[in-house]
Structure 1
Amino acid sequence: MRVVIQRVKSSQVEVSNRIIGKIGRGLNLLVGIAETDTEAELEWMARKCLELRLFPDEQNGSGRWEKSVLEIGGELLVVSQFTLYGDCRKGRRPSFDKSAAPAIAQNLYEQFIAKLRQSGLRVETGEFGAMMQVAIQNDGPVTLLLEREAG
């Protein structure tokens, strides 16, 4: 499983010129599901996304990242992105052999969202398999790649 995690001031996703998910301060999560992913990867990734200290503690003024999205009561926008498993090492067209099949990926993606929602934070989503436009106001910018392989 791969997640591009971005600290944002705001983020939104549109499908067919209609906003279907929108958040304020929090995290934008672009989610790629591998063919080998299981619930163990989902559990680890959800916990990591919720608990990573990516936000400064504004009270102490140090600028150090001391707070998680949970601790600041932030919001999450979760967008499926199978292209995170695109392999561009050979040729001129990416190979998506390691991406999970759509039916499997959608089920795991929905389970991942459910795990995030258990936190009590506001969780918005894109539409699985749709052509989406994602607007991200990255804060920092802060962008990290999280990866957890089955095993």
Structure 2
Amino acid sequence: MPKVNFYTVRLENEEDSETDRFISRFIASHEYRPDLEVILAALEEIGAKRGALPPGDATLFRPEKDAMALPPPQAYGNLLRLYGFICSDDIMVLGGGGRKTTKKAQDGDTRPAFRMMNQVAEILKHRLANQTVWIENQQLHGAYQQMNLPG
């Protein structure tokens, strides 16, 4: 049994999830593939061995407002970011990502993914607190599949 079940954000009318789109964007790149492989290895470590908590664990995640980002902070010089939200030690929601082209995550190529994942994180935090979304047997239940994100 995996330590973490990963959920992904998929926009209405899109075939692929934001995470799949992120991976597809960089997997064939000679420049960014090594950075992507660091992120994928971190996901493997979290999913199969470690779990996701404690939230904001400096050895696993970069805190990014309500969300978090991979790669781990010790992956110095990695130019990619993949955004997500930790629901519990055994559930993570992954969004999209991009190239870190500016000092701030909310600017540049990462801006759309950063903003979207923080909106998703805020909604999920609220729904988990109000128990319209709950966790049972390492799965999300309730109203987690549809969200209206602000423009």
Query: Which structure has the bigger radius of gyration?
Result: 1
By percentage of residues, which structure has more strand?
Answer: 1
TM-score interval (norm. to shorter): under 0.3
